[in-house]
């Protein structure tokens, strides 16, 4: 199946506890400092928006964000390595933004590592703009890494 056919058959559904083993496996492969199973469980228990992108029973990615007052805060997004830079992340981010709009959110915020060029590129392409920097926000191999704070007006 081609990538365009795969994206055509992609569905967005609620994340559930049965998904966590697969999601944590993806998370460990694609993030420098991955969330634990407990982090995902906490997000589900806190009623954050936790969605899975799936095609033909295979999880391609996931997104977690919280809604507060009038803004959505993107907390985590992960795409299976072999589907990165092929439109799946964009599809999932667009879906998250649509959910936020439907919940009457005015903007979406996120933090991203400056060293994560692929994610920065995706966010900029979508229309996110840099609004700040959080010093020493992320754990890193050599100490701490800053976070670029980005905003998208919904």
- Residue 72 CA to its chain's centroid (Å): 12
3-state secondary structure of 125: helix
Q: Among this protein's residues, is 111 annotated catalytic?
A: yes
Q: Among this protein's residues, is 123 annotated catalytic?
A: yes
- The distance in angstroms from the start CA to the end CA of the chain is 33
Q: 71, 111, 130, 151: which is the annotated catalytic residue?
A: 111
How far is residue 89's CA from residue 63's CA, in Å, rounded to a whole number? 9
Radius of gyration (C-alpha) of the chain in whole angstroms: 15
Q: 48, 62, 123, 152: which is the annotated catalytic residue?
A: 123
Catalytic positions are 111, 123
């Amino acid at each position: 199946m081609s990538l365009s056919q795969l994206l055509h058959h992609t569905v967005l559904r609620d994340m559930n506890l049965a998904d966590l083993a697969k999601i944590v496996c993806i998370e460990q492969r694609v993030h420098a400092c991955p969330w634990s199973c407990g982090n995902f469980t906490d997000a589900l228990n806190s009623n954050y928006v936790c969605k899975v992108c799936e095609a033909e029973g295979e999880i391609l990615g996931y997104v977690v964000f919280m809604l507060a007052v009038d803004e959505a805060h993107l907390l985590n997004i992960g795409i299976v390595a072999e589907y990165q830079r092929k439109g799946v992340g964009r599809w999932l981010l667009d879906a998250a933004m649509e959910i936020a709009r439907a919940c009457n959110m005015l903007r979406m915020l996120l933090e991203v590592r400056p060293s994560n060029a692929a994610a920065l590129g995706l966010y900029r392409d979508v229309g996110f703009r840099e609004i700040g920097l959080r010093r020493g926000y992320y754990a890193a191999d050599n100490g701490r890494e800053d976070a670029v704070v980005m905003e998208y007006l919904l």
